[in-house]
Chains A and B, each alone.
Chain A
Amino acid sequence: MGNNSERLYVPRLARVAAVVDETPTIKTFRLAFDDGPRPDFKCGQFGEFGIFGVGEATFCFASPPDREYLEITVKNVGKVTRAFHNLNEGDVITLRGPYGNWFPYDDLKGKKLLFIGGGIGQAPLRGLLWTCLENRGDFEQLDLIYAAREECELVYERELVEFEGRDDLAVTLALDPVCPGEPIPGWRGRTSFVPPILEEERPSPEDRVVITCGPPIMIKLVAKSLLEKLDYAPGQIWTTLEMKMKCGLGKCGRCNIGSVYVCKDGPVFNYEQILSFPKEF
């Protein structure tokens, strides 16, 4: 059974404690709770965050679950997200959740993990990546490929610099090629889409699990490359899906793919499950 508060849709209130400008269109909000401890969550879960008078939108918990703070990262794409971008420290937001399932941390232990993030898709991976780093001994190898359209669209830049300096995590940063083959001036990483990087580096499927999140087209192409060119089994790929959501509770009927409710059965899915869905996207 889920955690049923008496009033399902009545949110908790949180205060914006800090705002970080990640990119021109993405901000990270650190939230503080004055009415009690912050909600407990697991990596991969999401919440319905809102601003009274504007509405609610779905964001994943973008910070590691063991930190005392809670962070969300929001890309300005529409009505609610635009209002989030206008928030200042001290403003009050609403929160329902956590909802949804999470990454199967215990099943991942002992494996080599390859994280592949694209743009804002790094947000749901961030908490898990930090958790893995903090329990580095649980994993044989950790790799991260992080891609964005442009340099100014890389989120968590300060953390990427820190990651690059670590010797227990291999980091590959990539930007979409504007002109194929031509390097981008001043850019320290690669200029390529993700599939060619995979096909060049050929991370062996042995004992490895890929965890990916990004724009739908990236997820599709990454999976195709792994499955068709690198002999991965669908079961070795995990991703989190984005569908339009409203309730997050399996009621409003908006997030389904076939008989699966992405908000209740997901958002974290194994690629094997995804292949069994009706071809809805």
Chain B
Amino acid sequence: MATIKEELRAAVKKLFDEDRIDYFVGYVEDYGHTFPAILAKGSDLSRLTFDRKSYNNLADFLPELRGSRVGLVCKQCEVRTLNVLAAEGQIERDKLVVVGVPCPAMVDPRKLPADEAGLDDLDESYWQEKCRRCLERNTPFADVFVGERASTPTPAEGWPLLQEVEAMSAEERLAWWREQMSLCIRCYACRLACPLCYCHQCFVEDNKPQWLDKSVRPENNLHYHIIRAIHLAGRCIECQECSRVCPVGIPVDVLNNVLARDFAERFGYLAGETAEAKPALTHYERDDKEDFIL
């Protein structure tokens, strides 16, 4: 039986051969890492892979390729992202060829064992948090599906770290945030790795007026994170890329999770859950709760 890698390579080769795509965005393996690559016709497809280190949210690369016909590996994170991007008018669905995969759950890079031989067998305690909460492991709207369909998972409830932070007293929580913010170097990897932070000019770059001072201090860093979290309210699809890419290990997504939870509780809304859902913040339903409006 062909492995998922072989099926994937064959499927991509076919897409190029049949001239259905200009670029393929997928994961490749080389020099001991699995990482995203944008491949054009004539590229070596033998490094294409889909494994438990296929972390990046590939929808992040779509703006760069706008106008081209693009094939894309879509695990559940990308599925939800595409739903949000489509609802926001950011992608041309007919120019995308979605390659569906069964997602085996990603292994938390901070828990990666030194010997990666047993990677496929690592249990939930090694997974990224989002994978424990995943509702569906198979790409629903795949144009091509590779690999064997995965069974439906039993999602875990809540975000453990958010619960931990919320259990703190107000002073403890403030101290915790101050500590986290003192680590931030404002490299903006969290923003740039986020497929929903697609603004061509982010408020952090504006200098007329300059909303945010460039000096790297906890107050300025927090200012940045709060504004970013608000810009992602009802949009963040919890792919956890912001936290994963943070070079200094700040769990950036805790802020986004607070807002995502509020949207779930108040509006029964999960960003990107379906292709049909309208963006929560720009859409009004008669029975929307209004009790928070003063």
A–B touch (CB < 8 A): the answer is yes
A 64-84 binary contact with B (CB < 8 Å = 1; else 0): 000000000000001100100
Nearest residue (CB) in B for A79 is B207
Residues of A contacting B210 with CB < 8 Å? 79
Bound Cα distance A78, B209 (Å)? 10
Cα distance A79–B209 in the bound complex, in angstroms: 8
- Across the two chains, which residue of chain A brings its CB closest to B208? A79
What chain B residues lie within 8 Å of A79 (beta carbons)?
207-208, 210
Which A residues touch B207, using CB under 8 A?
78-79
- On chain B, the residues within 8 Å of A78 by CB distance are 207-208
Instruction: Tell me, rounded to whole Å, the shortest Cβ–Cβ distance linking A55 to chain B.
Output: 9
In A61-110, the 8 Å CB interface with B consists of 78-79, 82
* Contacts of B68-90 to chain A: CB distance below 8 A: none
B contact patch SS:
loop
Taking the closest CB of chain B, its distance from the CB of A271, in whole angstroms, is 33
Smallest CB separation, B214 vs chain A (Å): 10
In the bound complex, CA of A204 to CA of B132 (Å): 77
* Cα distance, A78 to B210, chains bound together (Å): 11
* Minimum CB–CB distance for A51 against chain B, Å: 14
A80 (CB) vs chain B CBs: closest residue: B207
Q: List residues of B (202-240) whose CB comes within 8 Å of A's CBs.
A: 207-208, 210
| Docked complex Cα distance between A79 and B207 (Å) | 7
**Which A residues touch B208, using CB under 8 A?**
78-79, 82
Give the CA-CA distance A82 to B207 in the complex, in Å: 11
B57 to chain A, nearest CB (A): 31
Q: Which residue of A lies closest to B209 (CB)?
A: A79
CA distance A82 to B209 in the complex (A): 11
How close is B206's CB to chain A, nearest CB, in angstroms? 10
Residue-by-residue, is B167-211 near A (CB-CB < 8 Å gives 1, otherwise 0)?
Answer: 000000000000000000000000000000000000000011010
CA distance A218 to B285 in the complex (A): 56
A202 vs chain B, min Cβ distance (A): 44
Question: Shortest CB–CB separation between residue A1 and chain B, in angstroms?
Answer: 32
CB distance from A254 to the nearest CB of B (A): 14
- A22-B51 Cα distance, complex, nearest whole Å: 64
Instruction: A172 to B72: give the CA distance in the assembly, Å.
Output: 58
Instruction: Tell me the complex Cα distance, A18–B158, Å.
Output: 66
Q: For A82, list chain B residues within 8 Å (CB).
A: 208
Kindly provide the distance from the CB of B18 to the nearest chain A CB, expressed in whole angstroms: 36
With both chains docked as a complex, state the minimum distance between the C-beta of B282 and any C-beta of chain A, in angstroms: 32
A16 to B28, CA, bound (A): 60
Q: How far is the CB of A16 from chain B (nearest CB, A)?
A: 22
A 37-78 contacts with B by CB, 8 A:
78
CA distance in complex: A82, B208 (Å): 9
Residue of A nearest to B210 (CB): A79
| Cα of A78 to Cα of B206 in the assembled complex, Å | 11
Whole-angstrom CA separation of A167 from B210 in the bound complex: 50
- Per-position contact with A for B111-124: 1 when CB-CB < 8 Å, else 0? 00000000000000
Interchain nearest-CB distance for A103 vs B (Å): 32
Q: How far is the CB of B25 from chain A (nearest CB, A)?
A: 28
Nearest A residue to B207 by beta-carbon distance?
A: A79
Q: Provide the bound-state CA to CA distance between A70 and B207, in Å.
A: 29
What separation, in Å, do the CA atoms of A78 and B207 have in the docked complex?
8
CB distance from A272 to the nearest CB of B (A): 36
Q: How far is the CB of A143 from chain B (nearest CB, A)?
A: 39
A193 to chain B, nearest CB (A): 31
B41 vs chain A, min Cβ distance (A): 26
| A191 to B120 alpha-carbon distance, docked (Å) | 72
Expressed in whole angstroms, the minimum distance between the Cβ of B138 and any Cβ of chain A is: 47
B209 nearest CB across to chain A (Å): 9
- Distance in Å: Cβ of B241 to nearest Cβ of chain A: 29
Q: How far is the CB of A187 from chain B (nearest CB, A)?
A: 33
CB-nearest residue of chain B to A54? B210
Q: Which residue of B lies closest to A82 (CB)?
A: B208
Which residue numbers of A lie inside 8 Å of B, CB to CB? 78-79, 82
**B residues whose Cβ falls under 8 Å from a Cβ of A:** 207-208, 210
| Interface CB pairs A-B, < 8 A, 6 | A78-B207, A78-B208, A79-B207, A79-B208, A79-B210, A82-B208
Sorted nearest first, the 6 A-B pairs with minimum C-beta distance are A79-B207, A79-B208, A78-B208, A78-B207, A79-B210, A82-B208
